Amino acid sequence: MVEIGIVGKPNVGKSTFFNAATHAGAETAGYPFTTIDANNAVGFVRTDCVCRELNVTDTPRNSRCVDGVRFAPVNLIDVAGLVPDAHKGKGLGNKFLDDLRQAAVLIHVVDASGSTDSEGNPVAAGSHDPVEDVLFLENEIERWFYSIFNRNWDKIARRVETEKKDFARFFEEMFAGIGITEGAIHQALREADLDGGYPSKWGEDGLYRFSKALRAHSKKMIIAANKTDAAGAQDNIARLRERFPNYPVVPTSSMAEFVLVNLAEKGAIRYLPGDSSFEIVDKSTLTPKEAKALEMIQAKVFDRFGGTGVQACINQAVLDMLEKIAIYPVEDETHFTDKEGRVLPDVFLMDRDCIPLDVAERIHTDIAKHYVAAIDAKSKRKIAKDHALKQGDVVKIISKA
C-alpha cells in the first residue's frame, strides 16, 4: 500500500490530521480497517468510482464507496520525533528515521498561524515563522542523508574508482531503502557540480552539496499549512507559497476535519471528506458547543478556503506527486465481480504507467507467475501485455494459477 508520512514539529496538529483522516473509514465500513498501531492506520484517497459509469451498485471490500465517491486505502504514518538533531537517530529519532524511510511522500504539517515556537511550545499567534520549520525539516533530512552516505564513503569510492562501477547505478542500489532513484542521483550530481569527479576527491563539502541536492529530488513533500482557522494564517500561507514554489502548499484545518467527520458519523451532519460544503441534518441533535463549532468552521474555514484541505492533501500527495491511478481488479468481467459476487470489490492505487502484469503482481505473485492474458472489463477486449492502463480501468487477469 502507498505509505504517507505525516511529519512536523510537536503541536502543529499531526495527530489531529492523522485521526481525522483515518477515522472516517474505521467505523462506517464493513471491512475491518485495522489500526496497525497508534501511529499507523488506513486513510483514503478520494476518487470518482467507476460504479456510476458502469451503472452498477457496488459492494466494496478494500475500500468504501459513498454516492459514487470511492475512497481508496493508503497507509498513513503519524511520524513522531522531529526534534533538533533527529537525524542523529537517538531515542525517538530512530523511529523518526524509520518512518521517513518508509514513506513514499511526506505531508509536512506546519502551524500556519505561527503560534508554536521552533520546539513546539505555544507562543503568541504570528510570532513564529513557519518558513523556518520547512527549512528545518529539509536540513534534518539532508544531514541524515549525509551521515548515511558518509559512513559508507570509503567503500563507495573504492567500488567506483577501483572497480569502475557506474556511480549512479551503484549508489541507487546501495541506498534503495531510502527511496532514491538513478534519475535523482544524476540531477544531484549535476547540481552539486560533481559530475564525473572522483568520489574520494569530493570532500565533506562536496558530499554535503550532493546530499542536499539529492534530498530535493528524492523525498517528495507537500506542505499542509495547518490551523488556517486561526488568526494570521493567510499571510503565512502566502509567504510559504512564495518561498517554496516547488512544494504544493495546501491550507488545512485538521481540527475542522476532525469535528466534521465525527459529527457526520453521528449523523448530525452530511459531509464526506473532501466535500466543499457540509449540511446540518437536524439542528436539534447538536449541542450548543457543536453548533457554535460548525458556525466557526463555516466562517473561518469553508468561506475562506473552500474546505478543510485534509483530503486535498492526501489526494495531491498520492495522485499528483506519486502519480497514482485507480485500477479495479475483477474476476468476472461481465458482472464486474469477484468470486464471492461482490461488485467492484477492490480498488488498487497503481503507478500511472502500470501494465496488466503489475496488477497481477499486486493480486498475488502466483497470479503473475502464471499470467496468461488480461481483459478490459469495460470493452471486453484483450489488453496487450505491455499496454499502459489508465485511471478507472476495470481489469480481469487470466492466469493458470
Ligand X SMILES: Nc1nc2c(ncn2[C@@H]2O[C@H](COP(=O)(O)OP(=O)(O)O)[C@@H](O)[C@H]2O)c(=O)[nH]1
Binding site for Mg ion (CB under 5 A): 14-15
Q: Quick one: 13 or 60, whose CB is closer to ligand X? A: 13
Q: Which does 236 bind (CB under 5 to 8 A by kind): Mg ion, ligand X, none?
A: none
Q: Quick one: 16 or 218, whose CB is closer to ligand X? A: 16
Q: Which residue has the cell 504514518?
A: 77
Cβ-closest residue to ligand X?
13
For residue 181, the minimal CB distance to ligand X (Å) is 30
Measuring CA to CA, how many Å separate 298 from each of 118, 169, 235, 292, 301? 30, 52, 20, 10, 6
Q: Quick one: 13 or 274, whose CB is closer to ligand X? A: 13
For residue 334, the minimal CB distance to Mg ion (Å) is 48
Phi, psi angle pair for 280, to nearest 5°: -80, 125
Q: Of the candidates 325, 379, 344, which has an alpha carbon nearest to the alpha carbon of residue 52? A: 344
Q: Which does 274 bind (CB under 5 to 8 A by kind): Mg ion, ligand X, none?
A: none
For residue 6, the minimal CB distance to ligand X (Å) is 8
Do 73 and 52 meet the contact criterion of CB atoms below 8 Å apart? no
CA dihedral defined by 336, 342, 346, 352, rounded to 10 degrees? 0
Q: Quick one: 75 or 116, whose CB is closer to ligand X? A: 116
Binding residues for ligand X, per CB under 6 A?
A: 8, 10-16, 226-227, 229-230, 253-255
Q: Which does 362 bind (CB under 5 to 8 A by kind): Mg ion, ligand X, none?
A: none
Q: Quick one: 3 or 182, whose CB is closer to Mg ion? A: 3
Cβ-closest residue to Mg ion?
15
Q: Which does 229 bind (CB under 5 to 8 A by kind): Mg ion, ligand X, none?
A: ligand X
For residue 80, the minimal CB distance to Mg ion (Å) is 6
DSSP 136-176: HHHHHHHHHHHHHHHHTHHHHHHHHHTS---HHHHHHHHTG
155 contact partners, CB below 8 Å, separation of at least 6:
none
Runs of H (alpha helix) within 306-355: 310-315
For residue 84, the minimal CB distance to ligand X (Å) is 16
For residue 130, the minimal CB distance to ligand X (Å) is 13
Phi, psi angle pair for 291, to nearest 5°: -60, -40
Q: Of the candidates 368, 110, 373, 54, which has an alpha carbon nearest to the alpha carbon of residue 224? A: 110
Q: Which does 89 bind (CB under 5 to 8 A by kind): Mg ion, ligand X, none?
A: none
Strand pairing class (394-399; 348-351): unpaired
Q: Quick one: 83 or 388, whose CB is closer to ligand X? A: 83
Q: Quick one: 10 or 206, whose CB is closer to Mg ion? A: 10
For residue 285, the minimal CB distance to ligand X (Å) is 23
156 contact partners, CB below 8 Å, separation of at least 6:
149, 167, 170, 171, 174, 199
